[in-house]
Amino acid sequence: MMRYYTTFLFFILSILFLNAQQSAVVIYKAELNTDKERYLKYKDKLGENMVNRMKQKDAGINEILKDFSFKLQFNATESRYEWEEDMPDETVNQSVFLLSKLAGGGLAVHYTNIKENLYLKQFKEISTGRLVRETAPLVQKDWQITKETDTILGYPVIKAVKGKTEAWFTSSIPVPFGPAEARGLPGLILKYNFNNTRIIYADKIKWLKKNLNIKRPKKGLLRTQKEGRAQRMKEMGRMLNK
């Protein structure tokens, strides 16, 4: 019951706020977390040489990410997040290029719909190469909102945590949208630190005078996120048993 009440509240707040503000486009940037503490946990398991190689690879990805942008478009009830298609330099290694896109959530199209309490992720399955759409609830119950505050792009933000994942959202823009899979908080997520490994942060926000038509991904096999995880576990089991 509480989930539906929260969804309804999001919807009402979004309508009231965006009735005046119309729609917006948020440009996000991404980077891998290269703090020393992140690599310490790998040192005993992998050895110093392997950790140093990991650091070099991450530094290379971050260098590429400087030229990458990721775009969130939203109106009162829907949002769509994806990679801005800037082609890399021809000398860039293809695997590093894909890892750079992955860091910002750009290997998929992320769509949310407040009215339907829906999060939809469209992506190409690695194992089969087929296009897939996985669905999950927009509202997530396991966020814990803290008392920590900061300012991003002039907006006051509040920190929320979920395990090792952090999100900074602003109630000044009361929509439950965010970059990649980040969502379900009572305000737009302007910074997202996933599991202390990759960080996605808002670089600029552009308000539009006209209502933005958000395109919903319609192609690909439709299944729930739970069904998708079960399928991936099944495929992994088959590979291990070969």
What tens-digit pLDDT sequence spans the chain (242 residues)?
444 445 455 555 555 555 556 799 999 999 998 887 777 677 677 777 888 888 888 888 898 888 889 999 999 999 999 998 665 566 667 777 888 888 899 889 999 999 999 999 999 988 788 999 999 999 888 999 999 999 999 999 999 999 999 999 999 999 999 999 999 999 999 999 999 899 999 999 999 988 999 999 999 999 999 998 888 888 777 666 66
Looking at residue 3, its pLDDT comes to: 45
Looking at residue 4, its pLDDT comes to: 43
Residues 6+ apart with CB under 8 A from 175: 10, 13, 14, 17, 18, 74, 76, 79, 114, 187, 188
CA 134, CA 111: separation in Å to the nearest integer? 10
Looking at residue 88, its pLDDT comes to: 58
Reading the block at residue 51, the tokens are: 């950790």
**Residue 222 exposed, middle or buried by CB count within 10 Å (0-12, 13-18, 19+):** middle
Looking at residue 167, its pLDDT comes to: 98
CA 10, CA 5: separation in Å to the nearest integer? 9
Cβ(7)–Cβ(172) under 8 Å?
Answer: no
Looking at residue 161, its pLDDT comes to: 97
Looking at residue 147, its pLDDT comes to: 97
CA 81, CA 84: separation in Å to the nearest integer? 9
Looking at residue 8, its pLDDT comes to: 52
